[in-house]
Chain A
């Protein structure tokens, strides 16, 4: 019996090719709409915003975190700011969704979509590669 299960495990390995990505993570900046006035924001505050634990801006508007999941900057953002791999981050949100704790945040397909969404929603927050930040967005200064 044990041998049979071991063979099945090996077959799973052989048949399903792992998706190995060796591409280095791109640098990123956290961005908000240029009209959003903010004082000092710590990395921990930003982390809690992206994890749905801070839901209001100081002016009372709802925080809308926007994930730029298909951009090269996503892995670096997830790892360095949220302390999670991209897979762990996806699991985090799906657990909240399927257990009834929250809705899913907006998942953009690319940086252009992030810019469009934040232009239309000044209460949103996202992240972009350094060279993708354009008007009306501005980088958010994140302290330790």
Chain B
């Protein structure tokens, strides 16, 4: 109830404040924001929240401030609030906050908490009202790992390079650290895994006797992205890559119990706009290695890809269809290396359709339906009442968003 009250109060504030504040307080200072309220309902399995019984705990709120301090120097930040059931940060966080110095078009520097370039849409994933669908394709933009891949804390170089009559290239390279909030699905999944190992342990002296707490710390992150923008057509071709390492410390120990290495995570991207059509496809792999108490529990690349087609026959309407596939291990698509679990825990195949309606320049209404085969991607965490989530399941989501 408290969350709903907070949402309503914030919405009222935004509605009342919009006509009062010009938001371009001066030419060098801008304030913008958004608020979204959604509803989610699913059959057979929960998705991200307790969706089987229908959930209105699906609220986003962002407020950003940009100040062009000098011709080449910009300071900015965005406060973000998300309520997505028990598995989200139910408080206000800093989505991004940076100092951006750009002495020339081909070279700029960003320092602070900066959105991570991964695929074509990771940097804008919190502004779902700008996307054709509420949820980005989950194989590449896994919502359960949102907090980890959202932004880096560190520094990056970026710029735009012309390539003659062909077009131009955007690039962004970075180094820094990831963040791991305590109440994310990833943290919950890790804690469940450690607790289970302790419960079953009989001989491994590296495992503690009980589980009280865990802390995941980043131990390095670096990567980059390039995007080619065609001059002749609205075509974008991209490649992004990062490597990272993090350790999990249990019960305050100074020795890590888990070590996680993303040896290579990459995404190839293609986006083509033609008149009122948009075609997007991305392919990615995440080659990772996880060891727990001296034992390797995961080693190999996952595989992700999707195709999405959007059509806007009228100015304010967009219709979208999506087919999205994820395999936990690229070389074990049928899950045969994990015979203790049902085979369908090795994949997730998602067929979705969405409608987006721009009520006016500020308000957007979206609705979508997904039919899914498979339960990979942390689905067990939000379905603790089942030994294994169901193979076939579906979900419906609708969201109303206001931005200014």
A binding-site residues for B, Cβ under 8 Å:
1-2, 5, 8-9, 12-13, 16, 18-21, 44, 47-48, 53-56, 62, 83-88, 90-91, 94-95, 97-104, 106
Contacts and interface: CB of A to CB of B under 8 A. Distances in A.
Given A98-B78, A103-B74, 11 more contacts: A5-B396, A8-B396, A9-B369, A13-B355, A21-B315, A48-B162, A56-B104, A85-B312, A87-B315, A88-B278, A94-B403
Interface stretch (B10-18, B123-131, B180-188, B214-222): B123-131
A55 B102 contact: yes
A100 B273 contact: no
Contacts of A12: 355, 357, 365, 367
Contacts of A21: 315
A113 B183 CA distance: 49
Nearest to A121: B27
A127 to B, nearest CB: 18
Contacts of A62: 71
Contacts, number: 115
B276 A85 contact: yes
A124 to B, nearest CB: 11
- Provide the main secondary structure of the chain B interface: strand
B231 interface: yes
A44 B273 contact: no
Interface string B86-125: 0000000000101010101100001000110000000110
Given A8-B367, A103-B30, A98 B315 contact: no
13 contacts: A9-B367, A20-B315, A44-B167, A56-B104, A83-B234, A84-B273, A85-B276, A87-B358, A97-B64, A98-B78, A98-B124, A99-B127, A100-B77
A141 B100 CA distance: 33
A19 B369 CA distance: 24
B315 A54 contact: no
A16 B130 contact: no
B24 to A, nearest CB: 8
Nearest to A107: B24
Contacts of B300: none
A125 B316 CA distance: 28
Nearest to A144: B165
B127 A98 contact: yes
B68 to A, nearest CB: 6
A1 B127 contact: no
A62 to B, nearest CB: 5
Q: What bracket does the count of chain B residues touching chain A fall in? A: 35 or more
A53 B104 contact: no
Given A55-B102, A56-B105, A100-B78, A16 B365 contact: yes
Contact of B130 (A48, A56, A91, A101): A91
A124 B43 CA distance: 54
A99 B156 CA distance: 15
A86 B315 contact: yes
Complex A-B, nearest 9 residue pairs according to Cβ-Cβ distance, in ascending order: A99-B123, A98-B127, A18-B314, A83-B234, A100-B96, A95-B124, A53-B160, A44-B231, A103-B66
B98 A100 contact: yes
A100 B317 contact: no
B264 interface: no
B127 A95 contact: yes
Contact of A47 (B170, B231, B276, B355): B231
B312 to A, nearest CB: 7
B231 A53 contact: no
Interface string B49-78: 000000000000010101010010010111
Given A99-B127, A104-B32, A16 B357 contact: yes
B315 A100 contact: no
A93 to B, nearest CB: 10
B375 to A, nearest CB: 18
B296 interface: no
User: Which one of A19, A84, A98 has the greatest number of beta carbons of chain B within 10 Å?
Assistant: A98
B34 interface: yes
Contacts of A102: 74
Contacts of A104: 30, 32
B338 interface: no
A107 to B, nearest CB: 9
A97 B160 CA distance: 17
A59 to B, nearest CB: 13
B298 interface: no
